[in-house]
Amino acid sequence: MAYRVVHYINQFFAGVGGEEKADYRPEARDGAVGPGLALNGALGGDAEIVGTVICGDSYFADNIEEAKKQILELIAKFEPDAVVAGPAFNAGRYGTACGAVCEAVANELNIPTVTGMYEENPGVDMFKKATYIVKTADSARGMKDAIPVMAKLVLKQLRGEPIGKPEEEGYIPKGVRINYFADKIGAVRAVDMFVKKLKGEPYTTEYPMPVFDRVPPNPPVANLAEATIALVTSGGIVPKGNPDHIEASSASKYGEYSLAGVESLSAETHETAHGGYDPTYANENPNRVLPVDVMRELEKEGVIKKFHETFYTTVGNGTSVANAKKFGAEIAQKLKDANVTAVIVTST
């Protein structure tokens, strides 16, 4: 009997409509719809699309938890063996939805999942650990190439066959190290690589070292007296009691707190959530990490025009680069939207 596959797509690929229909609510249809027809063909009879679940991109983005729950229920009713989502190409909201659906399916239904996205789709960084994401072109023109690769990956998982290297299988690396038996022993591989490096020929390291990004510096503040300055910290300063439960290490979230009416931080109002240093001094006087007292003073003195009354905080200790990047991007967007001129980031 053929394996049962459910396909998740958005309103556009289901032919419901474009942006004007993006608030379309989750809906299930029997059999394949839109790109599912090609996918069904690529599955070659070993697996079959028994149902398609459709959801508008805006509806998903605006009601993530609720939408996920509804979609999961609709998927579960088909009693599938696997779920394929997208491909979403470079559509950010669609990619995020595909990733989130795959993640939820893997966690709740414990069955294989595959989706497809363009490398720069924000869904890639968010969900590449949770599901196989096939590398696609940036637009639907890449559909023809993406479908067979996605079909092959889902079939391999269904049959319990080993999944090969990302470049061979066409998926974006999940970032996990996997053992395999190479053709040659390690010493021979090392000497081969050595000879190439000595000759200046290209070679590929078997273990890439962790790397950090660089960004070009932004232009300076022209007129400080007209500037709005915000504070951001990785020192873990939070309102007393740590209302959002930011983790002491390996933070999975950041906090966003108002300082309206706050002239200075104190042991009564704030503390640190950071587990990476002796918290005694920061708890005694949180201004030692987040200098709110001085910022207020400078605001009064007119050195700066305005102290931005929301501060952003997380714990830098052991926090993954991926999470830190995500926090950084979100915080930067919020500060930009609030017309902040410049930012002081404090770290312990």
Partner 1 sequence: MKLELHKVKVTDLKWGDKTLFDGGTLYVNKAEIEEMLLEDERFAKVSVDFAKPGESVRILPVKDVVEPRCKLEGENEVFPGFIGDVDTVGCGKTLVLSGAAVVTCGRIVGFQEGIIDMSGPGADYTPFSKTNNVVLVFEPKEGLEKHEYEAACRMAGLKTAHYLACAVKGAAADEVETYELPCFAEAMKSHEGLPKVAYLYMLQSQGLLHDTYVYGVDAKKILPTLIHPNEVMDGAIVSGNCVSACDKNNTYSHLNNPVIKEMYARHGKDFNFVGCIITNENTTLADKKRSSSYAVKLARLLGVDGLIITEEGFGNPDTDLIMNCRKAEKAGIKTVLLTDEYAGRDGASQSLADACSEADAVVTAGNANEVVVLPKMEKVIGFPEYADIIAGGFDGSLREDGSIETEIQAITGATNELGFNRIAAYTG
Partner 2 sequence: MPVVHVCTIVPISLTVGANRIVPAVAIPHPLGDPTKTPEEEKQLRKHLVMKALKALQTEVEDQTVFND
Partner 3 sequence: MFGKYEKYKVISNNKILEGQIDCLEFVKGDALSVLEKARDYIHQGWALLNHPLYGNFTPRQQPYRTILLGLRVSKEHKPFNVDLESLGLIEKSILKFRSGMPEGSKNPPRVESVAEDYAILDLYLVSVNLNRYGIKYDFSKAISNGINTGW
Summarize as ranges the residues that interact with partner 1 (CB under 8 A). Answer: 129, 163, 165-166, 173-191, 193-195, 197-198, 203, 205-211
- Shortest separation between residue 275's beta carbon and partner 3, angstroms: 8
Cα–Cα distance measured from residue 200 to residue 206, given in angstroms and rounded to the nearest whole number: 17
Between residues 177 and 336, which has the closer beta carbon with respect to partner 1? 177
- Shortest separation between residue 318's beta carbon and partner 2, angstroms: 13
Q: Give the CA dihedral 204, 207, 209, 214, nearest 10 degrees.
A: 50
Indicate whether 258 belongs to the interface with partner 3 (CB under 8 A): no
Distances (CA, A) of 137 to 63, 116, 175: 28, 9, 21
Indicate whether 129 belongs to the interface with partner 3 (CB under 8 A): no
**Window of 75-83, 157-165, 230-238, 276-284 that interacts with partner 3 by CB under 8 A:** 276-284
> Three-state DSSP class for 54?
strand
- Shortest separation between residue 127's beta carbon and partner 2, angstroms: 24
Indicate whether 318 belongs to the interface with partner 3 (CB under 8 A): yes
Within 8 A by CB and 6+ apart from 281, the residues are: 288
Q: Within positions 253 to 312, which residues make up the interface with partner 2, using CB under 8 A?
A: 277-282, 284-285, 287-289, 291, 293-295, 297-298, 303-304
Q: What, of partner 2, partner 3, partner 1, none, does residue 195 touch, CB below 5 to 8 Å by kind?
A: partner 1
Cα–Cα distance measured from residue 168 to residue 132, given in angstroms and rounded to the nearest whole number: 13
Q: What, of partner 1, partner 3, partner 2, none, does residue 149 touch, CB below 5 to 8 Å by kind?
A: none
* Closest-CA residue to 114 (of 24, 33, 39, 32): 39
Let me know the angle formed at the C-alpha of 263 by 262 and 266, rounded to the nearest 5 degrees. Answer: 80
Binding mask 217-256 for partner 2 (x = CB under 8 A): xxxxxx-x----x-----x---------------------
What's the first-to-final CA gap in the chain, in angstroms? 60
Work out whether the CA dihedral 128, 131, 137, 140 comes out positive or negative.
negative
* Closest-CA residue to 108 (of 128, 123, 130, 89): 130
Indicate whether 249 belongs to the interface with partner 3 (CB under 8 A): yes
Between residues 37 and 224, which has the closer beta carbon with respect to partner 2? 224
Site size with partner 2, rule: CB under 8 A: 45
- Identify the burial level of 324 via C-beta atoms within 10 angstroms of its C-beta, where 0-12 means exposed, 13-18 middle and 19 or more buried: middle
Q: What are phi and psi of 88, to 5 degrees?
A: -105, -5
**Window of 72-80, 163-171, 184-192, 330-338 that interacts with partner 2 by CB under 8 A:** 330-338
Q: Within positions 193 to 222, which residues make up the interface with partner 2, using CB under 8 A?
A: 212-222
Name residue 64's amino acid: I
Distances (CA, A) of 20 to 13, 24, 31: 14, 9, 25
Q: What, of partner 1, partner 2, partner 3, none, does residue 250 touch, CB below 5 to 8 Å by kind?
A: partner 3
Between residues 239 and 275, which has the closer beta carbon with respect to partner 3? 275
Q: What, of partner 3, partner 1, partner 2, none, does residue 235 touch, CB below 5 to 8 Å by kind?
A: partner 2
Cα–Cα distance measured from residue 259 to residue 296, given in angstroms and rounded to the nearest whole number: 10
Between residues 45 and 207, which has the closer beta carbon with respect to partner 1? 207
> Pairing relation of β-strands 310-313 and 237-239?
unpaired
Within 8 A by CB and 6+ apart from 309, the residues are: 258, 259, 260
Indicate whether 64 belongs to the interface with partner 2 (CB under 8 A): no
Q: Given the rule CB under 8 A, which residues bind partner 3?
A: 249-250, 276-278, 318
Q: Given the rule CB under 8 A, which residues bind partner 2?
A: 212-222, 224, 229, 235, 277-282, 284-285, 287-289, 291, 293-295, 297-298, 303-304, 332, 335-336, 340-348
